[in-house]
Amino acid sequence: MFIGDIVGEPGRKAVAHLVPVLRQRHGIDVVIANGENSAGGSGITPKTAEDIFAGDVDIMTTGDHLWDQKEVSALLANEPRFLRPLNYPAGTAGHGSGVFRLGGWPPVGVLNLQGRVFMPDLDNPFLLARAEVARLRESTQIIFVDMHAEATSEKIALARMLDGLVSAVVGTHTHVQTADEQIFPGGTAYLTDAGFTGPHESVLGREMHPVIQLFLTYTPQRFAVAKERILLQGAIIEIDNETGKALNIQRVSEPWTP
């Protein structure tokens, strides 16, 4: 199971309460989550990462809000289950991919990429993805890609390029779950955006009024995390352990009431 961007305390609590339930209900072996918005809705700290891992999450990915909390440097240095986008410049702290051996299951490769359309101008994720997937395939056929990007076209293009080479490509960042889950001809599962885990009576997880005021006045506002209608969103992907090809993908949008 992959969990879309976890937003603030409501998102962390939803993970803690729902992931064990969903693991049992669906027989889930591995849980990956994007945690870049888990600290007050922007960035991540060792404490919020600890909350997420304690919620039965195995591996965490991030994106463009990676650096919003200065404490993230400790995670990048000390937590091997914590990934940042691969396409930051050489020498950046942390890792953009990894092969994880969890219990008795086959090894799982996870690759975190960040898009460049309407985003910071990092290294080309398409060029880096080809080389990194080839490297990961030396250790495992099961590879999951979190493509953290703004543009739908960039996410789809990257997934089409990797069709047959990875098990799944799921997009994050826009916080709106899309309805285009599918398996490409080569056996790669795809979803343009996993959505987000947190309060949906909101604007992308934030209180509505300040966001509306920003658009009305263009004056600075404080975007507090909202509190109502909490959902855990993402996707469950069934993968053939031998071939690494996806057999099924289904969206998840599970409500949680405190």
Q: What is the DSSP string of 48-114?
A: HHHHHHHTT--EEE--TTGGGSTTHHHHHHH-TTB---TTSPTT-SS-SEEEE--TTSPPEEEEEEE
Exposure string for 119-134, b = 16+ CB within 10 A, e = fewer: beebbebbebbeebbe
DSSP 8-state class, residue 9:
H
Residue 41's pLDDT is what?
A: 86
Determine how β-strand 143-148 pairs with β-strand 168-172.
parallel
Full pLDDT tens readout for the chain, 258 residues: 999 999 999 999 999 999 999 999 999 999 999 999 999 888 999 999 999 999 999 999 999 999 999 999 999 999 999 999 999 999 999 999 999 999 878 999 999 999 999 999 999 999 999 999 999 999 999 999 999 999 999 999 999 999 999 999 999 999 999 999 999 999 999 999 999 999 999 999 999 999 999 999 999 898 999 999 999 999 999 999 999 999 999 999 999 998
As its CATH architecture, domain 2-250 has 4-Layer Sandwich (3.60)
Q: How far apart are CA 34 and CA 3, in angstroms?
A: 6
C-alpha span between 4 and 33 (Å, rounded): 6
CA distances for 127 relative to 43, 65, 83, 185, angstroms: 27, 23, 19, 22
163 vs 13, 154, 187, CA distance in Å? 35, 14, 7
Please report the pLDDT score of residue 110 as a whole number: 98
Of the candidates 17, 26, 65, 148, the residue annotated as catalytic is 65
Alpha-carbon span 59 to 87, nearest angstrom: 19
**Which pLDDT belongs to residue 244?**
97
Question: What does the alpha-carbon distance between residue 230 and residue 228 come to, in Å, rounded to a whole number?
Answer: 6
Q: Which of 37, 29, 36, 76 is CA-nearest to residue 56?
A: 29
Q: What is the pLDDT of residue 21?
A: 97
pLDDT computed for residue 248 by the predictor: 98
Whether 175 sits among the annotated catalytic residues: the reply is no
Cβ pair 49, 79 in contact under 8 A: yes
| Model pLDDT, residue 103 | 80
* CA–CA dist 246, 209 (Å, integer): 42
Backbone angles phi, psi at 161, to 5 degrees: -65, -35
Helices and strands in the chain: count of H runs, count of E runs: 6, 13
The pTM score is 0.95
| In the block, residue with structure tokens 């409501």 | 10
CB 167 within 8 A of CB 189: yes
